[in-house]
A = this chain, B = another copy of it.
Amino acid sequence: MNVHDLTRELHVKNDSKIVLLVADGLGGLPRTSEGMTELETARRPNLDRLARRGIQGASIPVAPGISPGSGPGHLGLFGYDPIRYRIGRGALEATGIGFPLGPGDVAIRCNFCTLDEAGRIVDRRAGRITTEESGPLAARLRDVRIPGIEIFVEPVKEHRFVVVFRGPGLGDAVRDTDPQATGVRPLEPVGEDDAGRRTAEVARAFLAQARDLLRSEPKANFHTMRGFASKPDLPSFEDVYGLRAAAIAVYPMYKGLAHLVGMRIVGSARTLDEQIDTLAQSWNDHDFFFLHFKYTDSTGEDGDFDAKVRRIEELDGAMPRILRLAPTVLIVTGDHSTPSFLKGHSWHPVPTLLVSDCCRPDRLMEFHEATCIRGGLGHFEAKHLMTLALANAGRLGKFGA
């Protein structure tokens, strides 16, 4: 079942305001089997107060046991089935640096590499070239000219950069040129359908000119191309929910993901406090607010339990300012768990709290991993959260008579 088949048909408009606060990687793990998680350890006076008038549950980002990346993690929260809607690697990479992909664009993740005189790959990452060295080299590739094709080259980090081709008739069914091995030549780009063959032809022309432009470089004298990907065809929030949605994020990746579903990127906040300023400023012109807090994830990725606890406490401290705006529906969740114990994204369900006047409180007195599994929302797939948000906001009509 695609929930959008229902929401598209049933949504109605009103004056309600929905805030979706995503604490990236919120869920955690205890350090020992008797211990507490980061969220359980944190002082949470405000979140616990909300728990008493809210309903909580355990959100399964994609499916049990599946650890999502940021793309599927957020698509799920936004109500898009993350198994049905995939964001190709090139498109995610472009999205991650805030590049506004258009329909028909093809984005490609590129890696600088080192070739020997015979043209065989010696180093697939160009000797771990630094960002300072690689940036100007990527910029140099902007000199490539291909008739009828607009070309964008954007540095990313270290050996990575993004190329976007824009022009008529391009498609993303093109095989990677990275042979995933050294001692062999890069592969030729090969298209798998007509539009892919057209893109492969453009890619071959690009690679030929890049070879010349990089020839004199000691380390980064060529590059591979992988993850050819068009902009994913995601229906917009306006279309499927009738919502004017605002995204308030610090990092480009999350702005990019919000952009893909048609949210408006508002403000240029650098801190949580500034994000809440932006929330207040954009309050009247929007119905839905995606507020992204990064640091519960990055501290988890670092394996820094205590730092993650402090970041959760920072978030807890920000709740009163959000509540002062009196949202009709407030949701606190994460796109996945990032336990510092695992130093990475995990599959564990994410503690999720929904507060509204008609949420049917479940009488839990705290909000964390141990309470959420007993909550009134049960264990649910993240893709159902938006429907619950709309229902609690009075924005869904009755299904059938």
Chain A residues within 8 Å of B, Cβ to Cβ: 1, 3, 5-6, 10, 29-30, 33-34, 37, 52-53, 58, 62-73, 82-83, 86-87, 89, 92-93, 339, 341-342, 344-349, 357-358, 360-363, 369-370, 373-380, 384-392, 396-401
With A64-B384, A65-B384 given, can you name 15 additional A-B contacts, CB distance below 8 Å? A5-B83, A29-B358, A30-B360, A33-B357, A65-B392, A68-B399, A71-B400, A71-B401, A92-B400, A346-B391, A348-B360, A349-B376, A362-B370, A362-B373, A373-B376
Question: Residues of B contacting A374 with CB < 8 Å?
Answer: 373-374
Q: Are B86 and A400 in contact (CB under 8 A)?
A: yes
Q: Are A388 and B64 in contact (CB under 8 A)?
A: yes
Question: Residues of B contacting A341 with CB < 8 Å?
Answer: 358
Question: Residues of B contacting A389 with CB < 8 Å?
Answer: 65
Q: Are A33 and B376 in contact (CB under 8 A)?
A: no
Question: Residues of B contacting A349 with CB < 8 Å?
Answer: 376, 378
Closest Cβ–Cβ distance, residue A84 to chain B (whole Å): 9
Closest Cβ–Cβ distance, residue A58 to chain B (whole Å): 7
Residue pairs across A and B with Cβ atoms less than 8 A apart, 27 shown, are: A1-B63, A6-B62, A6-B66, A33-B52, A33-B357, A64-B385, A64-B387, A65-B390, A65-B392, A66-B399, A67-B391, A67-B397, A68-B399, A68-B400, A69-B400, A73-B400, A82-B399, A86-B400, A89-B401, A92-B401, A345-B398, A346-B358, A347-B396, A349-B376, A373-B374, A379-B379, A379-B380
Question: Which residue, A65, A341, A362, A396, has most C-beta atoms of chain B within 10 A?
Answer: A65
In angstroms, Cα B72 to Cα A397, docked, is: 14
Closest Cβ–Cβ distance, residue A344 to chain B (whole Å): 8
Q: Which 6 A-B pairs have the closest CB atoms?
A: A65-B387, A378-B379, A33-B53, A65-B391, A64-B384, A69-B400
Taken together, the copies of this chain in the complex come to 2
Given contacts A391-B347, A398-B68, A384 and B63 within 8 Å (CB-CB): yes
Query: In the complex, which of the residues B342, B361, B376, B396 contacts A358, with contact meaning CB atoms closer than 8 Å?
Result: B342
In angstroms, Cα B1 to Cα A30, docked, is: 31
